[in-house]
Structure 1
Amino acid sequence: MKKIAVFGKPGSGKSTLSRDLASATGIQLHQLDSILYKKNGEQIDRKAFVEAHENILSSARWIIDGLGPMALFNKRLEAADTLIYIDLPYVTSYWFVTKRLLKGLVEKPEGWPDGSSIVKGTLQSYQTLRRCPEFWNKNFMQKLNNVSLHKSVYIIQTTSELNGFVHAHI
């Protein structure tokens, strides 16, 4: 495990797992949302994001948490030696997004981009969750199988698997 891509639906626990992996392995964590957004919550321009992403991929060790633009996601899948797909039930993801909102009203969630509205981000997460079946489906699983021939692939489907992943695999 040197180049780790962590991905899944909004509210699936990607940031928490990625943070725990980084702590356990000493590998630098790159949360895409923190790279994609400026301090005031606005998105950086696409060219700057692509450049930052390429710089991360060219380094020897990394953990990248998130999805981002599809072309870059596909490059990340190819470059990673370890793929971690968090595929929790939708009801769990909706609950985690709601829980993040409630906690975020008191303090900024860890890994949340500085200056970004927790309410706006939550609404975007709900909208994305509604559209997720268009992407996270059998075709995606086939693509994941095709790209995973020489990689370690983990598919996490329960909160107990999620909570015990670092202990079980590091």
Structure 2
Amino acid sequence: MERINVIGTSGSGKSTLSKQLAAQLGYPYHEIDALFWKPNWTQTPDSELLDKIADITHQPYWVLDGNYSRTEPVKWQHVDTIIWVDYSFPRTFYQALKRALSRWLPGKELWPGTGNKETLGNLLLSKDSILLWTLRNYAKNRRRYSALMQSPDYPHIRFVRLRSPAETQAFLNAVQPDQHADSKDASCSL
């Protein structure tokens, strides 16, 4: 595992897992949301976003956190492992709610330098609400990711599906950096 994309519905825990995995392996961590969102909730044009992702995915080691289906042709050219965090809907929705509140209550900036913060309006009333997004996309994402795991288009990719926090912890416990590599050149055995 050297080039890893962690996917899952919003609130699934993909960012938490991505950060843990990157730290454990000594790999750079990249969040697609941070690449996409500019100040004042301005979206990065697709061509610019795809260029940023191409720069990352041409590197030898990385953990990429996020879905963005339009980025798949670029990011999955070089990925060797896709980890799908696929927890139950109640757990995923609860985690999305908990995360949203933990960002909104203290007025936490979501991505450094953007000034973008959760507001009560965008949590509950907006068509772009992360809670509404989770409700709308959970079942759709499960169908799509299940199909992707079976797709003959990606024979070079190892898919890992984690269905519970216990499975995730067991997976993390099994991932060990190669003892003979330094952190810049770390590979891992599993």
Query: What TM-score comes out, normalization by structure 1 length?
Result: 0.85
Q: Post-superposition shift, 1:125?
A: 1.8
> Which of 147, 152, 162 is 2:168 aligned to?
162
Say whether residues 1:8 and 2:14 are aligned partners.
no
CA separation in 2, counterparts of 1:76 and 1:140? 15
Q: Indicate the RMSD between aligned Cα atoms, in angstroms.
A: 2.2
Letter in 2 for 1:12: S
Change (3 A) 1:121 1:152: farther
Q: Report how far residue 136 of structure 1 moved.
A: 2.1
Q: Which moved more, 1:95-104 or 1:127-136?
A: 127-136
Deviation string, structure 1 residues 91-149 (Cα, Å, up to 9, x no partner): 1111101111222212638xx32422323267622222222222321x53132222554
Tell me which moved more, 74-83 or 151-160. 74-83
Partners of 2:106 and 2:167 lie apart in 1 by 28
Q: SS where residue 92 of structure 1 aligns?
A: helix
Q: Describe the shift of the 1:131–1:169 C-alpha distance in structure 2 as closer, same or farther (beyond 3 A).
A: same
One-letter identity of the residue aligned with 2:6: V
Q: Contact conserved, 2:162 with 2:168, CA < 8 A, in 1?
A: yes
TM-score of the two chains, using structure 2 as the length reference:
0.77
146-155 or 84-93, larger mean C-alpha shift: 146-155
Matched, 1:100 2:99: yes
Moved over 4 A (4+): none
Q: Kindly name which structure, 1 or 2, has the bigger radius of gyration based on alpha carbons.
A: 2
Comparing both chains, which one has the higher relative contact order based on Cα–Cα distances under 8 Å and sequence gaps of 6 or more?
1
* Paired residue total: 166
- Superposed CA deviations along residues 68-111 of structure 1, whole A, max 9, x for unmatched, are 2x2312442342111100111111111101111222212638xx
Matches of residues 103-122 of structure 1 in structure 2 within 5 Å?
103-104=102-103, 105-106=105-106, 108=108, 112-114=110-112, 115-119=115-119, 120=122
CA–CA distance in 2 between the matches of 1:77 and 1:90? 26
Instruction: Report SS of the residue matched to 1:5.
Output: strand
Other-structure match for 1:136: 142
Q: Distance in 2 between matches of 1:140 and 1:18?
A: 18
Residue of structure 1 equivalent to 2:184: none
Q: Distance in 2 between matches of 1:60 and 1:87?
A: 27
SS of aligned partner of 1:135: helix
C-alpha deviations, 1:1-27, integer Å up to 9, x for none?
110010000001111111111111111
- Alignment gaps of 5+ in structure 1: none
Q: What percentage of aligned pairs have identical amino acids?
A: 23
Partner of 2:131: 126
